[in-house]
Amino acid sequence: MEGAKMQVEGLSAYYGKTKAISEISVGFPEGKVSAIIGPSGCGKSTLIRCLNRMHETLPRTRVEGRILLDGEDILQLDPVGVRRRVGMVFQKPNPFVTMSIFDNVSVALRFAGRHSRDEIDRAVVRSLQQAALWDEVKDRVDAPAVSLSGGQQQRLCIARALAAEPEVLLMDEPCSALDPVATAKIEVLVDELKSHYTVIIVTHNMQQAARVADYTAFLYLGKLIEVGPTESLFERPKERLTEQYITGRFG
């Protein structure tokens, strides 16, 4: 795809001998939100976890193919460096439970090699503002991160990911553990984030994909069935499987 920030080419990923995704090729355009949808077990989480090389941190996993970030194959690069450029937010909020709200964000800066006190302070505030959490926590940034609600914890995780100043932000079903109000806040946030970042979001919720994504890819049984601008994919699906899925006949 022309202008793709990330371009996946012939990507297959394995757990042991099980092939979770099979020869997927898809591009994720810069400055846009791309959604990956599909029924449970279709490989959408596996795909997104390949994009920052988290897949290979699990035992007995393997990846084949190419994943280009700005034209460079990340499978040939140092994974630590890749993950600094491609941030990730997980299904369940996973703040560092022993750390304060402030430290959860500042530790990301430390990993990125920033140590100046002043710089860290400013970056923490900026990240919390970007994640729309600052107003709620500005009076208690030294409180334990786990004292926050689930939705706040997830926004803290987003702030933490943004603090490292990634180019791409991966979100693996970021709202699946959240209530509708918290979900709405995250969706608004995703829309704002795309002005600075390329966002790739996995969701099992088709309405969510329709609301937040510019492009949508539909996966089924580890294969890419269809990809295109969200509107046309939902209104004029080209594949029968896509149509059946979005009209709720399976999944």
Residues 136-155 that bind another protein (CB under 8 A): 146
User: Could you tell me if 242 and 230 are in contact, meaning their C-beta atoms sit under 8 angstroms apart?
Assistant: no
Report the relative pairing of strands 61-69 and 215-220 from DSSP bridges: unpaired
Touching another protein, residues 58-77 (CB under 8 A)? 59
Hey, what's the torsion of the CAs at 207, 211, 214, 217, to 10 degrees? Answer: -10
Tokens of 55: 């897949």
Q: Which of 68, 75, 77, 107 binds another protein (CB under 8 A)?
A: 107
End-to-end CA distance of the chain: 28
Tell me how far, at minimum, the Cβ of 206 lies from another protein, in Å: 26
Binding mask 74-103 for another protein (x = CB under 8 A): ------xxxxx--xx-x-x-xxxxxx----
DSSP codes of every residue in 216-240: EEEEETTEEEEEEEHHHHHHS-SSH
DSSP string, 73-113: EGGGS-HHHHHHHEEEE-SS----TTSBHHHHHHHHHHHTT
Binding string, 149-188, against another protein, x = CB under 8 A? --------x--xx--x------------------------
Smallest distance, another protein to C-beta of residue 42, A: 21
Minimum CB separation of residue 84 from another protein in Å reads 3
Q: Which is nearer to another protein, 97 or 188 (CB)?
A: 97
- Measured from the CB atom, the residue of 44 and 55 that comes closer to another protein is 55
Helix (H) / strand (E) containing 211: helix 206-212
Q: Nearer Cβ to another protein, position 46 or 230?
A: 46
The CA-based dihedral angle spanning residues 10, 77, 80, 23, taken in that order and rounded to the nearest 10 degrees: 10
15 binds another protein per the rule CB under 8 A: no
# residues contacting another protein (CB under 8 A): 29
Please state the closest distance from residue 170 (CB atom) to another protein, in A: 8
> Minimum Å distance from CB 193 to another protein?
16
By C-beta, is 145 or 224 nearer to another protein?
145
Contacts of 22 (CB under 8 A, 6+ apart): 12, 43, 222, 223
Alpha-carbon span 117 to 130, nearest angstrom: 20
Q: Which residues bind another protein (CB under 8 A)?
A: 52, 54, 57, 59, 80-84, 87-88, 90, 92, 94-99, 107-108, 110-112, 146, 157, 160-161, 164
